[in-house]
Structure 1
């Protein structure tokens, strides 16, 4: 019994090799912070270019303030056409949200990613969001940061387990830098990508996230991405309302997932090459944006308004439905 217990504990011990991998993860954390900065600047650049016809970079810019009228419908279509060409003649790995592709690289590809993915993924994602795509930055930064971590590990001919650790370190570092949430980034990485809670992987990933989170302050500013005002303690009735809201959100997320799968099935049955699918999705995005311009783009300004009770009533309901539909179809 003692020998079995020792064997089980042995898998959770650390050896000096962890220090080497952690030092590499620190470097990847630095790189991930700059990758996150580049992604945010690219999104801002494309949004300003397509919706406001100006050359500017800065914080995330909402497309909702444009004055293009019905012509704005064509912007997501153009973006979809360019992305389709990039995917067909560049790399198919840039298709999709980013998180499933990172999982595929870990589970099937032995944590190996191509160098062109590290370039094309942030470029295509920024172009998609900048031309109105209703997506967030979490998927692209996980894929891009993970690609940098994987390439770094491949350059040193590391084992598959160490490649996975550095891939996840890059993903967690990117998440930490984008959202200023190093702890949440590590927990997300452990749950979605690592599939283990062991010192050999947890320590390097935590180090990368901490370094990237620290670098966020000089690179992108301090403070939370979604600042909220304080509120009074919740009454018991409000807690029950929160429970009901959680149930509704759970069923809603399941419905949204089914809608994504239905969209994928629909596109898969079309008698055309998949290169044209992003343009078709872009048409739906453009029409949805014509109804609710605030449904376009990354949507972080909408989240801030929601958290501070500046969006309520029927407008919020219409925005929610529109955003969900165009997101599911564009992602499918």
Structure 2
């Protein structure tokens, strides 16, 4: 019989849980562990949203930006530096180089036991980065946090390595489901992005974890929809050519978005010291946000305003805030598209922590609006700007992230409507194919040019 010290209550509870789990069928254990992982991850996703909003309101309340302000440069610089310092000296772990990529790397290297500090490292670092205006998303950090929760929960319960591996994927998918309130999107993240091979029972456990996380996060948030876009009109086949062209445009823009982001990341990586990279990336981000303040933060509120018909949000707090004519709106939307890839890379590659999905949704929203405005101004073809912006979200995400199914279902679930799902899936598929073909052509041209030298 074991004798426990007064301070070993946790160990006593763990031994009791492990002893109980040994008498549970493996499939039953996996389902229970998936539900618990989803529950904890859903609560964490809700808390992460609240933390980002709290930090953002706190810093904005101090400076009160009104019109064009260089305070955005200082905020971005402070956010990146504080995030880098937190990672280097507090948790002593680096998660800025893509949280999802870190999970997939650990899985390839068969590192199934993630550190306990991984459950708070990305959570806190992303709260600082995004709260101070980092132009990225919270989905990467919460996927990493969810994976760490699943790993440590499985380890605490004495699960087999194979089950711990599955719980990492379930936790990561539950993180996506919780932050977007999109259970299908979370499932497809694990299956399409992480490409985890799963049995039927594992997929069922993944579904349970994602649904539990999404429902937990949604219930804590009062079941509010991220993008209450109202009712769309029925899709007309007469818009099919425009939808196909929008998919082509989104695919080409996705290549530009990734290319500019990679160039910016390469410039930051040339700086040898960690503090130098933080300063350079912070200044780059600050310049982008000060030029186009719509790039501040995750951009969900700006996207909601744009899709509700408030087109003035494109120039809010900028030197162009008084411009509201169609030509000016085209220029403002174009400026957002030009700088978004650079701003996202600056927020995540020099010490800041953020995700890749929200920036592509944001860019897609503006790209769809830009496409509708250009078609009206140059060709006299009037397209519904709100519907084009909504559909464009899935287009850029599918082309930039290479996940057309996840992009289509994620956008539909976030808005709470499948009424225009047909154009969404078309734009996502065309954008994905266009981006793949365009990048293959670029690689072939580069290789031919190198051989010709």
Partner SS state of residue 158, structure 2: coil
Q: Which moved more, 1:285-294 or 1:129-138?
A: 285-294
Distance 1:134 1:141 in 2: 16
TM-score by length of 2: 0.63
SS at match of 2:278: helix
Post-superposition offset of 1:16: 4.0
* Aligned 1:133-152 pairs, distance under 5 A: 133-152=134-153
> Are positions 1:238 and 2:239 aligned together?
yes
Give the deviation of 1:79 after TM superposition: 1.2
- State the Cα deviation string for residues 214-233 of structure 1 (Å, max 9, x = none): 22233112142122122223
Residues 1-332 of structure 1 mapped to structure 2, 5 A cutoff? 16-53=25-62, 66-67=65-66, 69-89=69-89, 90-270=91-271, 272-311=272-311, 312-332=329-349
Deviation at 1:32, TM superposition (A): 0.5
Alpha-carbon distance in structure 2 between the residues aligned to 1:40 and 1:245: 31
Cα shift at 1:84? 1.5
Matched residue of 2:234: which SS?
coil
Give the C-alpha shift of residue 325 in structure 1. 2.2
Q: For residue 174 of structure 1, give the secondary structure of its aligned residue in structure 2.
A: helix
> Which is worse superposed, 65-74 or 322-331?
65-74
CA contact (8 A) 2:56 2:131 kept: yes
Superposition deviation, residue 144 in structure 1:
0.9
* Structure 2 counterpart SS, 1:115: coil
| Local SS of the residue matching 2:70 | helix
Deviations 1:108-144 (A, max 9, x none): 2433211112112110001000011001111111011
Change in Cα spacing, 1:286 to 1:264, as seen in structure 2 (3 Å) is closer
Change (3 A) 1:158 1:93: farther
Structure 1 stretch displaced more, 17-26 or 220-229: 220-229
> Which range moves more in the overlay, 95-104 or 66-75?
66-75
**Counterparts in 2 of 1:81 and 1:329: CA distance versus 1, 3 Å:** closer
Which one has more relative contact order, counting CA pairs under 8 Å at least 6 apart?
A: 1
TM-score, structure 1 as length reference? 0.85
- Aligned partners of 1:198 and 1:164: how far apart in 2? 13
| C-alpha contact 1:79 1:282 (8 A) present in aligned 2 | yes
Is the CA contact 1:125–1:140 (under 8 Å) kept in the aligned structure 2? yes
How much has 1:165 moved relative to structure 2? 1.3
Is the Cα contact below 8 Å between 1:182 and 1:209 reproduced in 2? yes
On the 8 A contact 1:111/1:150 being kept in 2, the answer is yes
Indicate if the aligned counterparts of 2:268 and 2:280 stay in contact, CA closer than 8 A. no
Alignment RMSD (CA, Å): 2.2
Measure the CA separation in 2 of the matches of 1:233 and 1:38.
37
Deviation at 1:162, TM superposition (A): 1.2
User: Which runs of 5 or more residues in structure 2 are unaligned?
Assistant: 1-23, 312-328, 350-453
Tell me whether 27-36 or 187-196 shows the greater mean CA deviation.
Answer: 187-196
Q: 1:278 to 1:237 in 2, by over 3 A?
A: farther
What is the distance in 1 between the residues matched to 2:93 and 2:253?
Answer: 30
Q: What secondary structure sits across from 2:133 in the alignment?
A: coil
Higher mean displacement: 143-152 or 44-53: 44-53
Q: Report how many residues are paired.
A: 307
CA distance in 2, matches of 1:103, 1:255: 25
Deviation at 1:200, TM superposition (A): 3.5
Distance 1:112-1:66 versus aligned 2 partners, 3 A rule: farther
> Once structures 1 and 2 are overlaid, which stretch shifts more, 304-313 or 154-163?
304-313
1:136 & 1:80 partners in 2: Cα distance?
A: 14
Structure 1 residues 310 and 111: CA distance shift in structure 2, 3 A: farther
Bigger CA drift: 133-142 or 101-110?
Answer: 101-110
Unmatched runs of 5 consecutive residues or more in structure 1: 1-14, 55-64
Does structure 2 retain, via aligned residues, the 8 Å contact 1:88–1:275?
no
